[in-house]
Structure 1
Amino acid sequence: MRTFIAIDVNDAVRSVAQQSIEKLMKRGFKANWVSKENVHLTLFFLGEVSRHQIDEVAEHLCHRVIGFPSFSYIVDKLGYFSKGNQPRVIWLGVKSNQSLQKLYEEMKAELVKHNFSFEERFSPHITIGRVKDFPNAWQALIEDITFEPIVVAVDRFSIYSSQLTPTGPIYKQIYECSFEGGLIKHE
């Protein structure tokens, strides 16, 4: 199954994501927009993984982060990844901090032990859309959208399956792991 590891966001972030998408649509952007309930901060995309592997990795990751201190991160801007002079992905920016980076590094070290490999460096962001078409002067139209910074508390991570459908992906939470030492399996 196609899987990823993520940190959930709060309702304030979901609301800002929805408001930003509505503004971008009115400004002529066409994209595969992320639905409000699917907004999250991806830590790792694992790709196609067997159920057995996920069960094993979930247990090991959760054991590794037991006792990890709760922390928060700040969502503070709208941004984009581009290729050439074309926007590809529009996202909400996450101000990286030591705790978020440390959680990523701890989990990455455990995943490498289980033969997962990751080339990219960690650039925390919350994807809200994969751009299909865009208006002229697109940069200014994205950079013009602002919002008050939002603080998001973190005390757990989740592992999701992602089923691709013609109407967009369907995410299903498989595991949830609290830093205080609880692994919950969702059926």
Structure 2
Amino acid sequence: MHRLFVGIDPPEAIKDQLIDLMGGVAGARWQSDEQLHLTLRFIGEVDRHQANDVVAALASLHAPRFELSLAGVGTFDKRGQVNALWAGVTPHMAVHALHKKIDQAMVRVGLEPEHRAYQPHITLARFGRDTAGLDGFVAQHGGLASAPFAVDDFCLYESELTNAGSVYTIVERYRLD
């Protein structure tokens, strides 16, 4: 079985900017350089045959290149408990359009459509219960911004769950038009 997702691999300068922010929040499990990405579509566990269908479906997509910039930070919670800290991106229109095309392609290969509302972001940290310092971090970095960066491709990633955390490997890169 293969645990897959589709995402954008930000340029090193953006990853460096995000890595430089990390720290000062108790209980944060900060993402490594290799883990920083903008998820376009979580696929989940698929067998080898369906993984091959996913690869082919993604290869057939056509979408224009676009630019994004970092834009603020925020949190996700589950039942009132913060479980993730993220950096936002702007503008949303092109990345939403790409997400929609990818979701439609995944439905064509037999996967369920994405049911959650899509919010483009780059996860910075994950949390258990301890989030001491998080409010200060969000206040300090709420105005996070970057120069625009080109999005020339998107990637199919494989995720391996290990005792040390998730390991993400880029399986394939797909060029945008």
Same fold per superposition (TM over 0.5): yes
Letter in 2 for 1:176: R
Structure 1 vs Structure 2: percent identity of aligned residues?
Answer: 28
- How far apart, in 2, do the equivalents of 1:92 and 1:58 lie? 28
- Deviation of 1:150 (Å): 3.5
- How far apart, in 2, do the equivalents of 1:178 and 1:141 lie? 35
Q: Contact (CA 8 Å) 1:158, 1:176: kept in 2 or not? A: yes
Which of these residues, 108, 126, 133, is aligned with residue 130 of structure 1?
126
- Deviation of 1:85 (Å): 4.9
Q: Which runs of 5+ in 2 are unaligned?
A: none
- Deviation of 1:12 (Å): 2.2
Task: Describe the SS at the equivalent of 1:122.
Answer: coil
Task: Map 1:108-147; keep pairs closer than 5 Å.
Answer: 108-117=103-112, 118-132=114-128, 133-135=130-132, 138-145=134-141, 146-147=143-144
Q: Which runs of 5+ in 1 are unaligned?
A: 181-187
**TM superposition score normalised by structure 2:** 0.88
Q: Contact (CA 8 Å) 2:161, 2:167: kept in 1 or not? A: yes
Letter in 2 for 1:126: I
Q: Contact (CA 8 Å) 2:34, 2:168: kept in 1 or not? A: no
**TM superposition score normalised by structure 1:** 0.84
- How many pairs does the alignment contain? 173
| Structure 1 residues 107 and 83, CA gap change in structure 2 (3 angstroms) | closer
- How far apart, in 1, do the equivalents of 2:38 and 2:126 lie? 15
- How far apart, in 2, do the equivalents of 1:150 and 1:29 lie? 29
Q: Contact (CA 8 Å) 2:4, 2:44: kept in 1 or not? A: yes
Aligned match of 2:59: 62
| Structure 1 residues 150 and 85, CA gap change in structure 2 (3 angstroms) | farther
